[in-house]
Amino acid sequence: MDRYLCGSGEAAKVIDGCGRIIRDPNETAEIRALALQNRGFAYQQSGRLDQALADYASALATGPSDRAVKAKIHVNLGLIHARQGDQDRAMSDYADAIALNPDLVSAYVNRAAILMARGEHSRALSDLDQAIRLKPRDAALYLSRGAVHAIVGDHERAIADFTQAIIIDPSNAEARRYRSMAYRAQGKIAEAATDAAEAATLEPNSGDAHQSLGLSLQAAGDAERAIAEFGKAIELNPVNAEAIKARGDSYLAEGDRDRAIADFSQAIRLDPKMVDAYNNRGVAYLGRSQWDDAIADFTTVIALSPERSSAYLNRGEAFEAKRDRIHALPDFDRTIQLDPGVIEAFRQRAFLRSEAGDSRGAIDDYDVVIARTPQDAVALRGRGAARLHLREFDGAVADLTAAIAINPNDALAYRFRSLAYAAKNDNKRAIDDDAAALRLGAVAR
């Protein structure tokens, strides 16, 4: 009877039945080792980890002859050590399990989980490859390996794995959600939406499924339907900060800044470190000309993510809108330091330098803008004005003429060119440009 109870699977009965076997001096070492293993597992399932560890250690010391049994004990030890935060010991346990039984799939899978957490993706993939070779019809294994491929940016392999998981288990909604994410990462929005919709059909009460569909619709530019799907996700899980923030993004895309700000604020209340929510709320505040609120949000973004160049750019623009050049200029400087490819930072800094009387610095910045966007009429006009200030009249005329060719209605360009012509004593052209500027309504800036 005790042997039956020891293998029954009900924790309390297993502990009692196995305990009597362990205490029976007439039982063989092999049977006591199995009883210790079973009781250890019951303790483990009940959360009594110290007792489980003691039983597993005793089981191994008793010396079961079956290497497969020893391997399973080491896997269970690894699970406990991992749960206790001792990953090194867990890794050693899994290695021991594999040495005892190279065909034990759970040892490879559990070791891969630790390797993934450590960022050792190549080694994790190696373990998952081996697990799949041993158990090629297990959809969960393909799902795990696909997730690792997605993390390292190998979306083709990720999609292949998720597809295989779906072939094995067509009702696997999680595989469709993950494949949808991989398709989105590739820019295959239609495929992503199809998978996400299928996942939502398979799991209509899954907030994750509706959120995934919302993200696909959002990527497709269908903000209205995306908002509806995010709403379903939020109804199913009102504290889903990611879904709330994503709905805010769609409201912002629709131009509904009030609802966007409300969603971003709620997401921040749920997750005070959600950088994107602060950033996007700051963008919404910019759109409403609430400069101080925008500055506060972008300052928080910078505190949480100091290398985010867009936050410095946006905060600089808010400072500039307040005519606070002292704070705006360093923000544009920092944007350029972090990402020299942000043309708008050069354009904004050039304007501030011009206003501060640093015409040479302004020209240097406009040079960068024009080199990358040769048809930028505003930059050409700005550089022409800076050259005019430095009395480089021929260069000024050339820039302003190019700006007028691109935008014949640029009154300021005519006005500045008039001044350049006058300085060159080309009075007729100066008069003609003045007339054009007046006709177009030039206002000195």
Q: Tens digits of per-residue pLDDT, 312-326?
A: 999 999 999 999 999
pLDDT value at position 444? 40
pLDDT value at position 8? 67
Task: Kindly indicate the confidence band of residue 68, based on its pLDDT and cuts at 50, 70 and 90.
Answer: confident
pLDDT value at position 445? 39
pLDDT value at position 45? 87
Residue 263, token pair as written in the block: 């969603």
**1 pLDDT above the threshold of 70:** no
The Cα–Cα gap between 232 and 174 comes to 18
pLDDT value at position 443? 47
Burial 79-102 (b: 16+ CB within 10 A, else e): bbbbeeeebeebbebbebbbebbe
Which of 8 and 265 is assigned the larger pLDDT? 265
Span 95-116, average pLDDT: 96
Length of the chain: 445
**64 pLDDT above the threshold of 80:** no
Span 198-207, average pLDDT: 94
Task: Kindly indicate the confidence band of residue 40, based on its pLDDT and cuts at 50, 70 and 90.
Answer: confident
Closest CA to 6 of 29, 33, 26: 33
pLDDT value at position 30? 82
Per-chain mean pLDDT for the chain: 93
Residue 308, token pair as written in the block: 């985010």
Tell me which of 66-70, 72-76, 236-240 is least confident. Answer: 66-70
> Which tens digit of pLDDT belongs to each residue from 2-38?
676 777 677 888 888 888 888 888 888 888 888 888 8
